[in-house]
């Protein structure tokens, strides 16, 4: 090339950076690492045998269709099933309100492409899901704190209201209603990321923001909320199946964008998923909830047992994550380096989960992939490491106080 | 909403329009239509039984992995196989030069996202693949004719050099070399869309533009060509599997963008495809070539038999398409309406295949999906319709000439 590749890339690439999560996923291949890193479902919960039977059935009964092109909006049977479930959960809608996407990651990308112009402000939580930032960044937004003032030019508010990734926090109902009132006042579109919603293992379901919006605005066509769902955490991430539920005027545009992006989601995977969910999805979810509840409880017990004073953490009612806050002065990214080298434990440092002004003394622990015994052992190692760092920092503080080098 | 949805969409949506192809795909569900519309592989060529066995095998042997998240660049085994094949075809490379994409449609989207800033000029053929325009449009390029002068600000040249969609035309070797020389002079990136390359049924393979570029520049890392391949036309479009082969500096950035767009292609589909192609892909292609050769020959014979004087068409050496040019004054889009209503025949009007200044008296016929007998019948009906239009236009001309109303 006459010029270097970097000179050739579009200006938007200045906003697109490598994600820590991706590099960390590669560590899963190292069997001696105890990994609290990815929000990875436990493969023990994959209905492998049944899925294998269904691939066989679908190919035997309709192989011509299963291996052929299909429409960009997604398989009608799967969209109908999702619409019925959304309806039962308080957001009456039909298949015209649903587009099937390649996981909810693609839902976030398509929504970003549809709404975000360069410099438009997106309101996000502190911390927020780094994958959403990864999707939106290519459209060159600015970010503002959902908890602060709404800046001029704000267009979108993005939230994970149930057992949030990464904080584990659930928004109470009145906070959801307040968000909708603010969104109405400032004419914001609300992106509700429901990735973990089906994984509540204690407490009572809060209504989805979409359901509250529909009740308030009189129907889904008048709503301003786009609900992003996924089968990645409940069925299998490898099928790449998620969806958006929202007003038809938005869904139609997302379909148009999806067509230009990749035509459609794998036909055969959609056909298999439509059959799996039709035969006892709620029972399957019940099994998942029990399984992750045990791990969440093991995580809470291990943290209480092994973490030194000064470390605090969230207590989620569902989902896969606990958010840790370390004493000021400790840095999650530096701790990760030491954790991998000295203790063979992995997690995700908190910094990348902040759109602006990261809090470096934070980190995310996922409890989805490890057994209760491994959770205890991993947290024990991590607690030991943090304790050592605190002692070292303490001795530095002491040295600084006495003026010695 | 306070404002209408249209006011909320990003300015880029002014460039994104509905595609005729998508609407036409829906016609496939109507069994009495003879469809020359989509570039749809014949499902009779899908290795359904073998694919069913392989889904079973993959899930039995490695279900945990097959249903789990995987890396954004794609399955190493599949990337290695593709790299070896690209190497054997004159472009020495390794798996680091390959990213797996959701069909070549996603390759075009990711390349657009990486390179195109608002207003950048993309050089395209007349006609060109409308799906490429659909992918690029969201990044707000301008377009210029590859056959004309290179405008200032031109960054990319997009070509389908083998049995092009829609023209059926193949670029001879010296035209490929001339394109590379021009690309070097103007420092353009060349996007080589090889979607139909494996489907040559007569004549001799031309070297890929990437292979010529590698030979000329000294190696793939010094090349300016990005080759987009796909299994959609040869194995199954429903698996959503394509790839880009190019310099590592570009592939790494595409991986980063892919991560933000949809994380990765379906793991299980990649594992199945890696096994299918490893066991006799070249024999499978030989079967496809014979099959489509018979249909291409039937199409040429039918056109010669049924088309009225004044209609001309291309004679492809591979691929799935014939490009028809009607006498001036006839309009492909109007003809389609009549063809559906009066003759139950479908095709794609030529207009949408032009980035600028469409030639309305053109249309694309795909011969991939119909039997030789149906091809003859469909072309007979279409010829009859065109003949009627010509007679009507002729009588109008006659009326105009004699001054009667």
- Asked if B52 lies within 8 A of A55 by C-beta distance, the reply is yes
- Asked if B13 lies within 8 A of A253 by C-beta distance, the reply is yes
Task: Encode pLDDT of B225-234 as tens digits.
Answer: 999 999 999 9
CA torsion, ordered A110, A112, A114, A118, to nearest 10 deg: -150
Q: Which residues contact B231 (CB under 8 A, 6 or more apart)?
A: B239, B241, B242, B273, B277
| Nearest by CB: B103 against A26, A71, A263 | A263
- Asked if B269 lies within 8 A of A265 by C-beta distance, the reply is no
Confidence check: pLDDT of B259 > 50 = yes
- Residue-averaged pLDDT of chain A: 94
Task: Encode pLDDT of B331-390 as tens digits.
Answer: 999 999 999 989 999 999 999 999 999 999 999 999 999 999 999 999 999 999 999 999
- Residue-averaged pLDDT of chain B: 94
- Asked if A115 lies within 8 A of B9 by C-beta distance, the reply is yes
Do residues B258 and B72 lie in contact, with contact meaning Cβ atoms separated by under 8 Å?
yes
User: Under CATH, which architecture does the B5-46+283-402 domain have?
Assistant: Alpha-Beta Complex (3.90)
* Minimal C-alpha gap between A130 and chain B (Å): 10
Give ∠ CA A24-A244-A175 in degrees, rounded to 5: 85
* Minimal C-alpha gap between B353 and chain A (Å): 14
Tell whether B105 lies on the interface with A, counting CB pairs under 8 A: yes
Task: Encode pLDDT of B193-207 as tens digits.
Answer: 999 999 999 999 999
- Asked if B67 lies within 8 A of A2 by C-beta distance, the reply is no
- What residues are paired with A242 via a beta bridge? A101, A230
Tell whether A50 lies on the interface with B, counting CB pairs under 8 A: no
- Asked if B55 lies within 8 A of A56 by C-beta distance, the reply is yes
Q: How confident is the model at residue B2 (pLDDT cuts 50, 70, 90)?
A: low
CA distance A217 to A224: 9
Task: Encode pLDDT of A348-365 as tens digits.
Answer: 999 999 999 999 999 999
Q: Which of A250, A263, A261 is nearest to A72 (CA)?
A: A263
Do residues A144 and A302 lie in contact, with contact meaning Cβ atoms separated by under 8 Å?
no
Predicted pLDDT at A305 = 98
Task: Encode pLDDT of B214-225 as tens digits.
Answer: 999 999 999 999
Please compute the mean of the pLDDT values over residues B294-321 and round it to a whole number.
98
* Minimal C-alpha gap between A238 and chain B (Å): 5
Predicted pLDDT at B404 = 46
Predicted pLDDT at A393 = 73
Tell whether A240 lies on the interface with B, counting CB pairs under 8 A: yes
Predicted pLDDT at A38 = 86
Buried b (16+ CB within 10 A) or exposed e, B93-105: bebebbbbbbbbb
Tokens representing B284? Answer: 């499978």
Q: What is the DSSP letter of A200?
A: B
* Minimal C-alpha gap between B154 and chain A (Å): 11
- Asked if A2 lies within 8 A of B187 by C-beta distance, the reply is yes
CA distance A255 to A252: 5
Please compute the mean of the pLDDT values over residues B4-20 and round it to a whole number.
88
Structural element, H or E, at residue A70: none
| CA neighbours closer than 13 Å in the CB half-sphere of residue B115 | 31
- Asked if B261 lies within 8 A of A106 by C-beta distance, the reply is yes
Tell whether B269 lies on the interface with A, counting CB pairs under 8 A: yes
Strand order in the sheet with B348-349: B312-313, B321-325, B362-366, B348-349
**With respect to CATH, is domain B48-280 assigned 3.40.640.10?**
yes
Q: How confident is the model at residue A71 (pLDDT cuts 50, 70, 90)?
A: very high
Q: Which residues of B touch A71 (CB under 8 A)?
A: 22, 25-26
Q: Which residues contact B341 (CB under 8 A, 6 or more apart)?
A: none
Q: Which of B360, B113, B362, B129 is nearest to B255 (CA)?
A: B113
> Among B260, B274, B288, which would you mutate to test the A interface (most chain A Cβ atoms within 10 Å of its Cβ)?
B260
> Among A69, A182, A250, which would you mutate to test the B interface (most chain B Cβ atoms within 10 Å of its Cβ)?
A69
| Cβ burial, residue A207 (10 Å; 0-12/13-18/19+) | middle
Tell whether A267 lies on the interface with B, counting CB pairs under 8 A: yes
CA distance A102 to B340: 34
Q: Which residues of A touch B67 (CB under 8 A)?
A: 43, 46, 48, 51, 236-239
Neighbours of A338 (CB within 10 A): 14
Predicted pLDDT at B18 = 78
In the numeric block, the tokens 């190497």 are attached to B87
How long a stretch of residues is chain A?
A: 405
Q: How confident is the model at residue A404 (pLDDT cuts 50, 70, 90)?
A: very low
Structural element, H or E, at residue A178: helix A173-185
* Minimal C-alpha gap between B302 and chain A (Å): 27
- Asked if B64 lies within 8 A of A46 by C-beta distance, the reply is yes
Task: Encode pLDDT of B157-174 as tens digits.
Answer: 999 999 999 999 999 999
Confidence check: pLDDT of A394 > 80 = no
Task: Encode pLDDT of A238-271 as tens digits.
Answer: 999 999 999 999 999 999 999 999 999 999 999 9
Confidence check: pLDDT of A21 > 70 = no
Please compute the mean of the pLDDT values over residues A306-310 and round it to a whole number.
97
CA distance A237 to A40: 8
- Asked if A68 lies within 8 A of B263 by C-beta distance, the reply is no
Confidence check: pLDDT of A28 > 80 = no
Structural element, H or E, at residue B104: helix B103-115
C-alpha A73, offset from chain centre: 22
Confidence check: pLDDT of A405 > 50 = no
Question: Could you tell me the CA-to-CA distances from B283 to A246, A381, B86, B277 in Å, in that order?
Answer: 47, 55, 17, 10
Least confident segment among A355-359, A392-396, B300-304: A392-396
* Minimal C-alpha gap between A219 and chain B (Å): 12
**Between residues B234 and A39, which one has the greater pLDDT?**
B234
Chain B, residues 5-24, CB within 8 A of chain A, namely 5-6, 8-13, 16-19, 22
Q: Which residues of A touch B101 (CB under 8 A)?
A: 262
Tokens representing A137? Answer: 């960044």
CA distance B118 to A364: 38
Tell whether A269 lies on the interface with B, counting CB pairs under 8 A: yes
Chain B, residues 200-239, CB within 8 A of chain A, namely 222, 224, 232, 236-239
Confidence check: pLDDT of B189 > 80 = yes
- Asked if A52 lies within 8 A of B55 by C-beta distance, the reply is yes
Question: Could you tell me the CA-to-CA distances from A365 to A297, A322, A329, A368, B311 in Å, in that order?
Answer: 13, 5, 19, 9, 68
CA distance B89 to B285: 15
Q: What is the DSSP letter of B318?
A: B
pTM listed for this prediction = 0.95
Chain B, residues 335-374, CB within 8 A of chain A, namely none
Predicted pLDDT at B405 = 43
Question: Could you tell me the CA-to-CA distances from B191 to A171, B138, B209 in Å, in that order?
Answer: 47, 17, 9
CA distance A335 to A345: 10
Query: 3-state SS of B78-129?
Result: HHHHHHHHHHHCCCCCCHHHEEEECHHHHHHHHHHHHHCCCCCEEEECCCCC
Do residues A76 and A243 lie in contact, with contact meaning Cβ atoms separated by under 8 Å?
no
- CATH T-level assignment (fold) for domain A5-46+283-394: 3.90.1150
Tokens representing B84? Answer: 């070896």
Confidence check: pLDDT of A196 > 50 = yes
- Domain limits of chain A? 5-46+283-394, 48-280
Tell whether A119 lies on the interface with B, counting CB pairs under 8 A: no
- Asked if A40 lies within 8 A of B68 by C-beta distance, the reply is yes
Report the complex ipTM.
0.95
Question: Could you tell me the CA-to-CA distances from A122 to A12, A118, B157, B238, B405 in Å, in that order?
Answer: 16, 11, 34, 35, 62
Chain B, residues 129-188, CB within 8 A of chain A, namely 131, 134-135, 137-139, 155, 184, 187
Task: Encode pLDDT of B171-185 as tens digits.
Answer: 999 999 999 999 999
Q: Which of B286, B116, B125 is nearest to B200 (CA)?
A: B286
CA distance B236 to B238: 5
User: Which percentage of chain B shows pLDDT scores above 70?
Assistant: 94
């Amino acid at each position: 090339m006459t010029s270097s590749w970097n000179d050739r890339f579009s200006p938007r690439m200045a906003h697109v950076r490598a994600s820590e999560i991706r590099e960390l996923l590669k560590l899963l291949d190292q069997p001696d690492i105890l990994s609290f890193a990815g929000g990875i479902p436990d493969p023990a919960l994959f209905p492998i045998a049944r899925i294998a039977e269904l691939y066989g059935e679908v190919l035997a009964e309709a192989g011509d269709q299963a291996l052929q092109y299909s429409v960009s909006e997604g398989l009608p049977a799967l969209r109908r099933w999702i619409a019925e479930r959304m309806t039962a959960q308080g957001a009456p809608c039909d298949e015209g309100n649903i587009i099937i996407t390649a996981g909810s990651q693609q839902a976030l990308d398509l929504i970003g492409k549809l709404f975000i112009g360069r410099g438009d402000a997106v309101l996000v939580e502190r911390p927020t899901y780094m994958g959403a930032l990864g999707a939106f960044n290519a459209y060159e937004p600015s970010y503002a704190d959902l908890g602060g003032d709404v800046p001029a030019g704000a267009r979108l508010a993005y939230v994970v209201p149930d057992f949030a990734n990464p904080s584990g926090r659930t928004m109470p109902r009145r906070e959801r209603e307040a968000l909708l009132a603010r969104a109405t006042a400032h004419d914001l579109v609300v992106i509700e990321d429901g990735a973990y919603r089906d994984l509540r293992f204690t407490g009572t379901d809060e209504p989805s923001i979409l359901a509250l919006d529909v009740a308030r605005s009189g129907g889904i066509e008048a709503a301003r909320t786009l609900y992003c769902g996924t089968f990645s955490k409940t069925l299998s991430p490898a099928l790449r199946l998620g969806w958006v539920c929202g007003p038809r005027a938005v869904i139609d545009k997302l379909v148009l964008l999806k067509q230009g992006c990749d035509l459609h989601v794998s036909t055969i995977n959609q056909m298999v998923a439509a059959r799996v969910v039709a035969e006892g999805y709620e029972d399957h979810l019940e099994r998942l909830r029990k399984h992750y509840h045990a791990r969440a409880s093991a995580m809470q017990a291990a943290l209480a047992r092994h973490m030194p004073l000064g470390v605090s953490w969230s207590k989620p009612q569902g989902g896969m994550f606990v958010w840790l806050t370390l004493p000021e002065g400790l840095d999650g990214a530096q701790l990760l380096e030491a954790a991998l080298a000295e203790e063979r434990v992995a997690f995700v440092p908190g910094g990348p989960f902040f759109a602006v002004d990261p809090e470096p003394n934070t980190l995310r622990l996922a409890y989805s992939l490890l057994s209760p015994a491994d959770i205890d052992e991993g947290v024990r190692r991590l607690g030991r490491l943090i304790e050592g760092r605190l002692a070292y920092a303490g001795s530095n503080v002491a040295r600084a106080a006495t003026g010695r080098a």
